[in-house]
Structure formats: C-alpha cells, structure tokens
Amino acid sequence: MPIRKVRIFDGFERFWHWTQMLLIFTLLFTGLRIHGVHDWLNFDQAVNIHTLAALGLMLLWVFAIFWHLTTGAWRHYLPTLNGLWPVARYYAWDIFKGKPHPYRKHFWRKHNPLQALTYAALKLFLFPAIWVSGLTYLFYNYWQQGVSSPWLYWVANIHVFSAYAILSFVIIHVYMLTTGGSFSHHLMPMISGYDEVELTEAEEAYLEQDEPGRIKPS
C-alpha cells in the first residue's frame, strides 16, 4: 500500500494537545510547590495559579470531549487486542535490537493498540479521578460539615496519586518521542498536522477526490 503525507491531526486537535500540555505542566509545577518540593513561588501564588490552571484544563476537556464525539475522532482511542502483543514486545525487547516498529499508522487508525489502550485508560480513569478529586478538594468547605476528617485524607491522596501517575505518563510520553526515529520526526506531526500514513487504494482515492486538502501531492 502507498505511503502518503496525510493531515491526521486537525487544527483543534493540535491546539488542544499543546494547550493541555502547558496547563498540565503548570499544574505539576504549582502542585509540587504546594507540597513543598520547591519554593520558586509563594504558597498563595501557587494555590491560585493551580486553581486557575485546573479550571482552564477542565474547560478545555469539555470542548475536547465534544469535538471527539462530534467528529468521530473517539474511534481512534478504541482499545483492541489485535496487534497489541507485537507492539508491547517491540517496546519491551525488539526496540533494543534495532527491529522495525510492527505498526504503521493508518488513516482510520492513527494510534497503535498500545497507545489506544493507554490513552483510553488515561481519559476514562486517570483524568476523571484527578478531576473529581480536585473539585472535591477545592469545594471542601461546602461539604466538610459533619463529615469525618479521613474523607479529606482519601480525597487528597487520590488527587496526589493521580497527579504522579500523570507525571509518569508525561515522562514516558516524552521518552517515546526519542525512540524509533528522531525526536523531530515524532514531534512534527503534532505541529504541522501531517504524518506518513499507509493508505489503501480506496482511502487514497477518497482523500484525493473528497478531501484533497488533507493529502499532500505525491
């Protein structure tokens, strides 16, 4: 099948990705200050910036969810066991032996099975956990009357655990950009929107006729 340069990341998706990255880094930085890991901000500044960034991120997630549902982009995140083992084996073993990646992006499936499983878990479990625990923590004064203190302890720990889990994801995500090719090669699609995609004859004909702006001329 031919490999063509196709715009697989639309403008909103790139905006959402980079804005989310900025807000998550802001939340991690201020969250670490709140817990006393560094003192580059005073405590009140850190709390205020953390709260504003959190509200901004939740608003962005609302728009992103709406965009995914209305455009059908959510289908790229559907987990599948088909091809999962070869991809997992590649990252665990084959990558260190210089073997090629077993998965190539397709027009209707831009995430490999391991990516889809990871992103689905992130969006369905980790993000909601930090969202709900953060809001519960933020509005503690409105619900704490008559509630035993261990509840706040558990809310805070769920929030902190979720934050460190997201930090781990960010570190692994950046590390993955250094594997299987140059850093810029992996980064550019999320800047320009275009990536090399393996197309079937039907997909190539559809793009050239119905969405010519999405595919670069050969």
SS3 82: coil
The CATH number for 107's domain is: 1.20.950.20
Q: How far apart are CA 214 and CA 204, in angstroms?
A: 11
Position 199 scores a pLDDT of 86
66-85 pLDDT, tens digit each: 999 999 999 989 989 999 99
Position 216 scores a pLDDT of 85
The least confident of 40-49, 108-117, 143-152, 162-171 is 143-152
The least confident of 20-29, 137-146, 151-160, 192-201 is 137-146
Residue 4: which H helix or E strand, with range? Answer: strand 3-7
Mean pLDDT within 110-134: 93
Sorting pLDDT into bands at 50, 70 and 90, what band is 146?
low
Position 42 scores a pLDDT of 95
**Which of 115-124, 134-143, 174-183 has the highest mean predicted lDDT (pLDDT)?**
115-124
Position 196 scores a pLDDT of 87
- Structural domain boundaries, residue 184: 3-214
Residue 105 clears pLDDT 90, i.e. is over it? no
Residue 147 clears pLDDT 80, i.e. is over it? no
Report the number of distinct structural domains present in the chain. 1
Residue 110 clears pLDDT 90, i.e. is over it? no
Residue 149 clears pLDDT 70, i.e. is over it? no
Sorting pLDDT into bands at 50, 70 and 90, what band is 185?
confident
pTM of the model: 0.88
Residue 212 clears pLDDT 70, i.e. is over it? yes
Residue 87 clears pLDDT 90, i.e. is over it? yes
The least confident of 74-88, 99-113, 162-176, 185-199 is 99-113
Q: How far apart are CA 45 and CA 51, in angstroms?
A: 10
5-23 pLDDT, tens digit each: 999 899 999 999 999 999 9
In this structure, which long-range contacts are made by residues 66-73, counting pairs with CB atoms below 8 Å and at least 24 apart in sequence? 67/12, 67/13, 67/16, 71/10, 73/13
β partners of residue 3: 198
